[in-house]
Chain A
Amino acid sequence: MSETLNLTLKVWRQNATGQAGHFETYTTAVADDASFLEMLDYVNEDLIRNDKEPIAFDHDCREGICGSCGLMIDGQAHGPQKGTATCQLHMRKFSNGDTITIEPWRAAGFPIIKDLVVNRAAFDRIIESGGYISVNTGSAPDANIIPVPKETADAAMDAAACIGCGACVAACPNSAANLFTAAKMQHLNLLPQGQPERYSRAESMVEKMEEFFGSCTNHGECKEACPKEISIDFIAMMNKDYIKSKRVNRRRLGQKKVG
């Protein structure tokens, strides 16, 4: 049977981008079988009853796959449960009497829009810079014409599981987006279909990423926070492709080989 938890919440409230924000403290009592976001729904209903504006937070599928939600819970991206997005976290992971601090992702690349909502458009810009295979509709050959070793397809799928939530950036002390960028790049670079654009993709995605985010110094916080537990190995693979891209891409442009 479910148990009721009495909780104190310290929630980041901020009206708009660039404005000063502050913590507000709320108390609530909620059943432990509620999800974390249902707990916030409940707090919001309470706020509305008391004529206070509800807390804004991004969410949609509530099944851990759309990547919309993402909260810093007691300083941990997506909270205490490993491999779990905020929407799949349930209150039974907390105890009666707990104080929970809830913040938005904090990174210069993700400006705060309001309360717990941030702007993650930089991720779209990184994908637009090369996170695709250029194949127009209708021009594809039969799907089985290129065999792909099962191990390769599985590794590509491991990388492709990324939901683009931004927890990796939020968890990183440098606000680096290397895990996100590497996951998409290596999903495509591992597959035979991705080979023609492998090095142009590597160069343009890394350089677009650096316009918005900090540098990776191998802390490994990203993989700890990742709700899909994406391996940090993909970052190493990205670095290798990026270094090689400098040589390959110049050669392709007809310039002399460097180094």
Chain B
Amino acid sequence: MALTLDSKIPDGPLADKWTKHKFDLKLVNPSNRRKFEVIVVGTGLAGAAAAASLGELGYNVKVFTYHDSPRRAHSIAAQGGINGAKNYRNDGDSVHRLFYDTVKGGDYRSREANVHRLAESSVNIIDQATAQGVPFAREYGGLLDNRSFGGAQVARTFYARGQTGQQLLLGAYQALARQIHLGNVTLYNRMEMLDVVTHDGRAAGITVRDLLSGEVSAHSAHAVLLCTGGYGNVYFLSTNAKACNVTATWRAHKKGAAFANPCFTQIHPTCIPPADEFQSKLTLMSESLRNDGRIWVPKEFDEARSAGEIPESERDYYLERKYPAFGNLVPRDVASRNSKTVVDEGRGVGPLRNGVYLDFSDSINRFGKETIKARYGNLFDMYERITGEDPYESPMRIYPATHYTMGGLWVDYNLQTTVPGLFALGEANFSDHGANRLGASALMQGLADGYFVAPETVAGYLSDLLGTSPLETTHEAFATSIAETKDRTHQLLSIKGTKSVDHYHRELGKLVWDYCGMTRDRNGLEKALTEIPALRDEFWKNVKVLGNNESLNQSLEKALRVADFMEFAELKVSDALHREESCGGHFREEHQTEEGEALRDDENFCYVAAWEYGGPDIHKDSVLNKEPLVFENVKLTQRSYK
């Protein structure tokens, strides 16, 4: 059964769509709002902002997080900044320019109307955060400072030292705390959502597991908002926090929500490479380092000398060689792919030969150590803490790592999934970044969705439900979901196999990284499509989860998440195999220009791939639905960085 993908993009000129749509949406009057129950899952930027804003409006909100506190969500780790089309710098910025940069940066695979709304909201986000007390960096005159970021020729990025995500999340968390204090929002911490419950074709609520007691319970509502982040941890090693997972969105997918573009993943070029087989996660080093660092590898294969012993003539500054115009500042996807090429050739550096050098010696000689320290001191310290090497003395070693996922649940212009009443916000949806996200845009999208979009569009949905009550949690639909969830939990505990959950997660991560990582080709993807189901079968036969369900059991939590990654990974690979083009973060070896750059196929693939769950044989059973992407305001071009 094919879905009808109605994007509900409003008519009219691009710049007026959102204003017009807000007027056309039905409202819920203030005295009626308390009659509605809304569930928000996740407390990152999107979730905390949505829960706080809906609470302020007067809805009864329940917010769920698996952390001990809402403030721990992974939005907290974003470093660089947040874009806002304020044009405080008088350098020609505008809402339209931010819109244009984002569509182009996304390699023309995002929806124009959504991106324009994002750019419009960016301005309000900066105002809102400032009023909340977010301590953005300021100039001596007392006004806000800006920095520039990749993919833009204007300085529109607002920042709070290297902790912009932390400060914006704390702003949203504090707004949420205020609503909890006022009794408008109820917080459920250390509770993990394990299922979406639907009834009569609508979202009716969720099933959650209390991580401390193991109790599985149902919660009903008129609408459910999933603000549960991306799926980057399918690779095991990524810059995501350890608990980030696909469970909420995957469970929603299995209950009817289409999953869009799961093959779109952003691999960030400057991360610290793994040090040993016990590596648990990867750490990002800010993109800004490429302004003063030169990337190189030895010309010789299997070079044994240390960096300092290799003379200038035997070094290959490959980005400067291949891209003289942009040099070390090529976009993220291009830089990442080139690192992979030289490491795969056997010219990698470091004890495991799994990195490339990012060398600051020229800059230190030119500007002096103090200047470099003033620019990057905190990053150099972090590098030293992790690797034990002093980057002022010897070059940094870097390698790309999974960082962000552009794909996610398919949503219409109202951020509603294909299940009425089920909404997806932030990284959990697919809508704004196309095939590649620009720096400083993730924070912007999470907050735009949470503060400004969902409160309007969710009201539009609720207005039709006035006078109805949420489904009783004693209803069969909930009972079935609770029973299934308990079964899954007990099954995992009863396998009593021989290998740990982490073992299987690492194995899965290796497969997905090797076959569906920075570059993909048909052979590898087809191989992955046989190896992933085999690994999944083995997981369900041989995983070892000790302990019980009735107390805190972190292995069990992980097992439930990895079980869903095992299924999701197959869809991701399927999607990558079907998309016979290269675009943004999706690079198919078969589809490249003569110079080795990504070659889009706009004639055949200018659409959103929205997959519908069809059964347990994911590659064969999933049904592809296409939402054509129509570009009326930008012209599709081929990127070039020579």
* Interface residue? B385 (CB, 8 A): yes
**Complexed CA–CA distance, A149 and B242 (Å):** 38
Is B135 a contact of A157 with CB atoms below 8 Å? yes
Residue in A1, A114, A147, A149 whose beta carbon sits within 8 Å of that of B552 in the complex: A114
* Interface residue? A65 (CB, 8 A): yes
Is B280 a contact of A121 with CB atoms below 8 Å? no
* Interface residue? A63 (CB, 8 A): yes
Is B554 a contact of A54 with CB atoms below 8 Å? yes
Residue in B56, B127, B387 whose beta carbon sits within 8 Å of that of A141 in the complex: B127
CB proximity to B under 8 Å, residues A185-230 = 187-188, 191, 193-194
Is A191 a contact of B135 with CB atoms below 8 Å? yes
Residue in A52, A121, A138, A194 whose beta carbon sits within 8 Å of that of B189 in the complex: A121
In this complex, what residue of B is CB-closest to A142? Answer: B127
> Which A residues touch B243, using CB under 8 A?
60
Is B132 a contact of A135 with CB atoms below 8 Å? yes
* Interface residue? B566 (CB, 8 A): no
* Interface residue? A67 (CB, 8 A): yes
CB proximity to A under 8 Å, residues B44-101 = 49, 52-53, 56, 67-74, 76-77, 86, 88
> Which A residues touch B135, using CB under 8 A?
153-154, 156-157, 160, 187, 191
Is A137 a contact of B451 with CB atoms below 8 Å? yes
Q: Pick from B140-148, B216-224, B609-617 the stretch touching chain A.
A: B140-148
**In the complex where A60-B67, A133-B131, A143-B86 touch, is A113 in contact with B140 (Cβ < 8 A)?**
no
Shortest Cβ distance from A32 into chain B, in angstroms?
A: 8
Is A2 a contact of B77 with CB atoms below 8 Å? no
Residue in B52, B70, B163, B503 whose beta carbon sits within 8 Å of that of A161 in the complex: B163
How would residues 31 to 49 of chain A score, 1 for a CB under 8 Å from any chain B CB and 0 otherwise?
Answer: 1111101100110010011
How would residues 17 to 38 of chain A score, 1 for a CB under 8 Å from any chain B CB and 0 otherwise?
Answer: 0000000000000111111011
In this complex, what residue of A is CB-closest to B54? Answer: A137
Interface centre among B175, B212, B351, B554 (most CB of A within 10 A): B554
Is B133 a contact of A191 with CB atoms below 8 Å? yes
**Nearest 7 A/B pairs, CB to CB:** A147-B142, A132-B174, A140-B131, A143-B130, A157-B135, A140-B127, A128-B181
A residues with CB within 8 A of B: 1-2, 15-16, 30-35, 37-38, 41-42, 45, 48-49, 51-54, 56, 58-63, 65-68, 81, 84, 88, 90, 92, 113-114, 117, 119-121, 123-124, 127-129, 131-144, 146-150, 153-154, 156-157, 160-161, 163-164, 187-188, 191, 193-194
B residues with CB within 8 A of A: 49, 52-53, 56, 67-74, 76-77, 86, 88, 124, 126-133, 135-144, 160-161, 163, 166-167, 170, 173-175, 177-178, 180-181, 187, 189, 212, 241-243, 275-276, 278-281, 283-284, 351, 382, 385-388, 451-452, 455, 500, 502-503, 544, 546-547, 551-552, 554-555
| 24 A-B contact pairs sorted by A residue (CB < 8 Å) | A30-B278, A31-B275, A34-B278, A45-B503, A48-B555, A54-B555, A61-B77, A66-B72, A84-B385, A113-B552, A120-B68, A124-B69, A124-B177, A129-B181, A132-B132, A132-B175, A134-B178, A137-B49, A137-B451, A140-B131, A144-B144, A150-B142, A161-B166, A193-B130
